[in-house]
Each structure stands twice: as C-alpha cells, then as structure tokens.
Amino acid sequence: MTTTAQEKPAARSARAPQADARPVDAAGISRREFLYYIWGASMVMLLGAGGGTILWYLLPRFRSGEFGGDFFLPGAQLPAVNDPPQDNPQGRFWFSNTAEGVMALYKVCTHLGCLFKWVDTNERFECPCHGSKFHANGLYIEGPAPRSLDRFEVTVVLNDGSQITSDENGIVHLGDPSQVTEFIVHTGKRIKGPAAGQGYA
C-alpha cells in the first residue's frame, strides 16, 4: 500500500511528541556539577595533606636532653646561694642561684654571640671576645653588649608533686630548697634580657 503525500506529515507529527519527551529528574545533579564536586574535594584533600606535611617539618620538635627541648636537673644539683653558677654544655645554659632566686642563663653573649664564661676571681661572667661583663644573675655590668643576658624558663617540681614556674623574668623563688625534687629548664622558651643599664621589669 502506497502512502500519499498528505499522510506523511500526519505520521511525522504523531511521532514528534515522543522524540521531544525527556525524563526530568529534579532531585539529581548534572554530570558537570558532579565533576566540579569531585574536583573540589580532591583539591581540598591535596591541600590539606600538603599543608599538614609542611607543618610537620616546619614546626620544631625537640627531645628532652637536646638544646631546644627540656633539661631535667635533680634537686640536689642546686648550687648554694651565691655559689658559682653551674655550666650545662648540652643545654647551653648556666644554672645560677642568687639572692633573687634560681635561674638558667643562656650562655651566649648578647653582643655578637660569643660564649662567655664564669670568672671565679671576679665573681662575674666575662665574654672573652669583646669584654662584656655580667653579674651572676645575668644583668649587664659593662662592655659593648646591648642588653643583659637572656634567661630560660624554669619549672621546679616539689616533693608533693606540685610545680612552680619561673616568673616573667625567668626567676624561680624557692621557699625550702630541700623540698625540690627536680628542675626543668625549658631551653625552647627564652626570655630576652633588658637593655643595658636597665633591670628586669
């Protein structure tokens, strides 16, 4: 049976609505949106992992017993008041007990970074490089150093387990030294010395 020219458009128009009908899913996301989400999540994960790794390597981590970490000194190691300070080469500090209290002095001169030493005959610290001089508590006496010696924060552990931390000047005021179990010198927490000719606040 042959189809006339008038029947062809009618058949075509009958099929047209079926070709244009598309399934509509209002709750779903398009392929492009899905790829954006995947790309964004992968970038967040990559940056998070990279940032964490960088922080892990940049932040200093020091073990106790190495400079920058904590040094544990037995309470019996405390020198008597006004005795010569004790040198601790590993921690790079002098452990000093004065009438003011106990302190740990960073053993690097504030002038050009030389290692100063205690001179028994003069009862003071003297820098062999340029002649800067300091009291047993680290305060400036004379010389080209621009400020007094730096101190480290110190924590004292008592027999009952309580702790005393040094004040803002790095000094620990002890009541009864016989109650001290140990001293903890925090070489990662340095307290900057005041300008030459000035005392600690």
Given this structure, which CATH class describes domain 70-191? mainly beta
Residues 6+ apart with CB under 8 A from 130: 109, 111, 112, 114, 143, 144, 145
Residue with tokens 């010395």: 193
CA distance 58 to 52: 10
For residue range 137-147, list pLDDT tens digits in order.
999 999 999 99
User: What confidence score (pLDDT) does residue 21 get?
Assistant: 52
Read off the pLDDT band of 164 (50, 70, 90). Answer: confident
User: What confidence score (pLDDT) does residue 78 get?
Assistant: 86
* Model confidence at 32: pLDDT above 90: no
Query: What one-character DSSP code corresponds to residue 99?
Result: S
Q: Which of 68, 95, 63, 70 is nearest to 81 (CA)?
A: 95
Quote the pTM value.
0.66
CA distance 4 to 73: 111
**Count of C-beta atoms within a 10 Å radius of residue 79:** 14
* Model confidence at 61: pLDDT above 70: no
**Domain boundary assignment for the chain:** 70-191
CA distance 162 to 175: 13
Exposed e or buried b for every residue in 143-182, given b needs 16+ CB within 10 A?
Answer: bebebbbbbbbbbbbbeeeeebebeebbbbebeeeeebee
- Mean pLDDT value of segment 102-116: 92
- Measure CA of the first residue to CA of the last residue in the chain; give whole Å: 113
* Model confidence at 25: pLDDT above 90: no
